[in-house]
Amino acid sequence: MRDYGLKILSGLFLLCLILRAGFDITAQEKKKERLELIHADDAESYQKDGRMVRKFTGGVIFSQGEMKLFCDALYNFPRREEYLLLGHVRITDADYKLKADSARYFTKTKIFQAYGNVELLSDGSQLDAKLVTYFQNEKRAVAEENVKILDHKQHVEITGERAELERRKNYTKISGDPVFIQYDSAGREEMRIIGESMESFEQGKRFEIKRNVKITRDSTVATCQLAMYHADSETIELQEEPVAINGKDKITGEKILLHMLDKKLQSILVSGKLKYSSLPDSSTKIPVYENYLTGQSIQLFFTNNEVNKVQVSGTATSVYHVVNEQGIYQGENWAQGDTIIISIVKNGIDRIKIKSAPGSSQGKFTPPEIAAADSVQIE
């Protein structure tokens, strides 16, 4: 009986040790999560409205795990579990660095609110705004007012009125008149994209721009309702009422794909209910008529941002108004085939080649009087 009692007491003692050890570990973990004072020139405590306030001034430094807080003055409101940071605020973590004029930190929810000239630095990118709310547990930030995002790796600047950044998803959404600008290595603007909303995926490798989209690159201007930009492949896909204009050339279709190489326009591929139209030289001594191509797909190839070849496939149709060197109208040249390839030299057609199954190619030349009656005049 005595041995049995000793066994019970020993078991209870062991259980107490285990519970105490568990409590100590929990206490240590909680202690690690608390903000700890590293340095302050002065510190004081006082009551305000019946609540305790702790004040720290002069080179204030606090830490919490890997995070450190720096500021000129810090106020701690224990009952609200809140810290107010004032003057030259800096917050560093393993994932980011934040600078601000002032900030609030809510210890229970681990939420920062930074005010003033706020900078959030992370992975080679920088976010500027007047107000930034950072959710530490979720690795998520919301920026508001005069938002600017700089991606130094991609040479990209994005501005807007609001931005939502989710680090774990590598996702960013910008709204409020967003503008995307890409620069070359010398800081010269290469491309500008505007729209009503803008989303970035895979750390800026892919963008989606929606509603009233306008893309400007050199002399090419494109509009649509949905655009997708892939940074790695240097492609821009336009959908929903896409239109691309390069000088006197205009392209419409269901989908337009622009492809760049080393940030220079190489080709434009258009598919679905497409039309490629072009105006002849303005020196023509007659009313100006529209030259155009239609088909199931069309591809334009560029050299130094000028079209040098056009290839139309799928019931390809070409209507071209011939003008001689003196600017005198000669007539309309109509051609149709499976594929039409047009070579362009100095903004003028040099050669037209038609590829088709035997006997399926068609062509017709119409003199000026008849051509003028059948053609569309451009005012």
Bridge partners, 78 (sequence order): none
Gap between the Cα atoms of 304 and 300, Å rounded: 13
Instruction: State the pairing for strand pair 206-217/189-194.
Output: antiparallel
CA–CA dist 5, 8 (Å, integer): 5
Element (H, E) at 62: strand 51-64
The strand ranges marked E within 167-217 are 171-175, 179-183, 189-194, 197-201, 206-217
Full pLDDT tens readout for the chain, 379 residues: 444 333 323 332 222 322 233 333 233 334 446 778 999 999 999 998 888 999 999 999 999 888 899 999 999 999 888 999 999 999 898 878 889 999 998 988 889 899 999 998 877 788 899 999 989 888 888 999 999 999 888 788 999 999 998 888 889 999 999 999 999 888 899 899 999 999 989 877 899 999 999 999 888 899 999 999 998 899 999 999 999 998 888 899 999 999 988 878 899 999 988 888 887 655 555 566 788 889 999 998 988 878 889 899 988 998 888 777 777 777 888 888 899 898 888 767 778 888 887 767 888 888 876 555 555 443 3
> Judging by DSSP bridges, how do beta strands 97-106 and 329-345 pair with one another?
unpaired
Give me the pLDDT at residue 26, please.
34
Q: How far is CA 57 from CA 44, 89, 160, in A?
A: 9, 12, 36
Q: What is the pLDDT of residue 303?
A: 87
- Write out pLDDT tens, residues 122-137: 777 888 999 999 898 8
Distance CA 207, CA 258 (A): 14
Quickly list H helices, the chain: 2-33, 368-374
pLDDT of residue 33: 61
Round to whole Å and give the CA distance between 116 and 134.
Answer: 15
> Are the beta carbons of 293 and 268 closer than 8 angstroms?
no
Burial of 94 (0-12, 13-18, 19+ CB in 10 A): exposed
pTM: 0.76
pLDDT score of 287 = 61
Q: Annotate 129-147 with DSSP letters as a single string.
A: EEEEEEETTTTEEEEEEEE
pLDDT at 110: 87
11-30 burial, b at 16+ Cβ within 10 Å, e below that, comes to eeeeeeeeeeeeeeeeeeee
When computed from its CA atoms, the radius of gyration of the chain, rounded to whole angstroms, is: 33
Q: Please, what sign has the CA dihedral across residues 66, 72, 77, 78?
A: positive
The reported pLDDT for the residue numbered 370 is 59
Per-residue model confidence (pLDDT) at position 218: 83
Two structure tokens written together for 227? 């655009």
Round to whole Å and give the CA distance between 32 and 28: 6
Say how many C-beta atoms besides its own lie within 10 A of residue 219's C-beta: 12
In the chain, where the domains are located: 218-379
> Looking at domain 218-379, which CATH architecture does it have?
Sandwich (2.60)
Q: Which amino acid is at 3?
A: D
Instruction: State residue 286's pLDDT score.
Output: 59
Distance CA 193, CA 208 (A): 11
